[in-house]
Structure 1
Amino acid sequence: MTPPSAGLPAPLLLARQLAPLLEGLEWAIGGSSLLWRLGLEPAPRDLDIVVSLECAGAAETILDGCLQRLPRPAHADYASEVFVRYRASSGVELDLMAGIAARREGALVRWEFDPAKSCRQDALPFMPAEDWLDLYRLFDRPRRVEQLTRYLATRAQGSLMM
């Protein structure tokens, strides 16, 4: 029998290691690791974890105990309440986000994480593709927006044929 972690890329192996530590917190995986899971990315670059604002402090404490905290990169448009970068001993980088917001056309636009919309696969919580489409729009990532828009249109078309 193949172990459940066989074939998982390094960012998701890290998520597997962290999952027991994050048990009981409201969190889910997005970004390139989600895109890999959807078959849209050949290899995830890092691990993006979104947590509820209520669980952010606990998640930071847990991650501070097992990962190296990196300096927060400055960005003129991103204004999330929590954005912390980490590096694991394996070299995998992790971005922890909560209270996500960005400045758009002079206004602060907030996005709210709903952990109830996440789904579990391989014992890991993943955010819905629709949420990351919204986030990539907020983050002004047109290539990712196009990629997920095509994926969601194809998925909707496939469900209509069944």
Structure 2
Amino acid sequence: MYQKTAKHPLSTKLEPLSDKTFAAMWQIFVHIGKFWQNIDDPTPYKSQLYSFMLNRINLRPIYSDYYISAQEVMTQLITEKGEDEAYKYLFTDKDAAKAPPETFIAVTRQNVANEFIALQLSLGGFKAFGAENYCGYIGGANIPSQPAPYRTFVE
């Protein structure tokens, strides 16, 4: 069955996502897995991240600016704090979580990092937390006298 691809009219006028910008966004994605220890090897998800980003840009062209800005923010943070501390700061700074975002770091956290976190969890990162059922995943059959493959009311 043919399904029309959704696109914002302005998205056709945008420059393609640069390799440098994607590489910077990939590093955010990789460091999410390291920080929360939820994905051992993110490499298989690289193409899915790229598709996710292109979809975001096609639906809301401002995401192109979010990604370019995030690249600049991370370059500056890494220069100031070093690589590991820069990503830790991005993921934990309380001011960056305040809505609506008032700084570039807050925009990066809320519109880039938080969405990458949700994507990573939906791709299987939730399993590291012991979850058995998340977004279509289920831990097995529901068999009487066996533990339920999902969280029950009692738990």
TM-score (norm 2): 0.24
Mark the structure with the bigger radius of gyration: 2
Bigger RCO (CA 8 Å, 6+ sep): 2
TM-score after normalising by structure 1 = 0.24
**In proportion to residue count, which structure has more helix?**
2
Instruction: Please state which structure has a larger fraction of its residues in strand.
Output: 1
